[in-house]
Amino acid sequence: MVYSVPCGVCGIRYVGETGQHYCERRSQHQRDIKNRKKTNGFYCHIRENKGHKINWDKALYLDYEKNWKRRKIKEAIYINAINPTNTMSKKDILNLEKGYELDAVWSEFNEVHRQGIAKKIG
């Protein structure tokens, strides 16, 4: 599955993918925060923005894919839709990296994916 989780204060989202059950992946993220893992986007956001908290209850399921490689591509498509620049801007998304490297042609679909995410957020 491809999922998205927001900060409960500013609403900036993290996009991830997993072949596990979401609750297992969430527990791993929470453990990384507790252990102050600097390679975890959630932890970095909380560290840099005092008082911010991740709203695990507002997780969105953006897409489902069993195949690992296709799931990584879908994750990268959603990350690129939220942050279409070549650099990772911390003000747009919690992810620390872009994920799977995509051909520029996929950027043509960014607006469609942004609208889809906006509909799911409500």
Tens of pLDDT, residues 27-77: 999 999 999 999 999 999 999 999 999 999 999 999 999 999 999 999 999
Tokens coding 107: 């950027």
In this predicted structure, what is the pLDDT of residue 48?
94
Q: How many domains does the chain have?
A: 1
The range of the structural domain enclosing residue 69 comes to: 2-121
Other Cβ atoms closer than 10 A to 26? 18
Average pLDDT over residues 94-117: 86
In this predicted structure, what is the pLDDT of residue 90?
60
In this predicted structure, what is the pLDDT of residue 64?
95
> Exposed/middle/buried for 72, CB within 10 Å: 0-12, 13-18, 19+?
middle
Q: Compute the mean pLDDT over every residue in the chain, rounded to the nearest whole number.
A: 92
Instruction: Report the run of H or E that residue 118 belongs to, with start and end.
Output: helix 110-121
The better pLDDT of the pair 81, 37 is held by 37
The better pLDDT of the pair 2, 88 is held by 2
Q: Report residue 4: phi and psi, to 5°.
A: -140, 140
The answer to whether 117 and 62 have CB atoms below 8 angstroms apart is yes
Please give the Cα distance from 80 to 99 (Å, whole number). 9
pLDDT band at 99; cut points 50, 70, 90: confident
Strands (E), the chain: 2-6, 13-17, 60-63
> Exposed/middle/buried for 3, CB within 10 Å: 0-12, 13-18, 19+?
buried
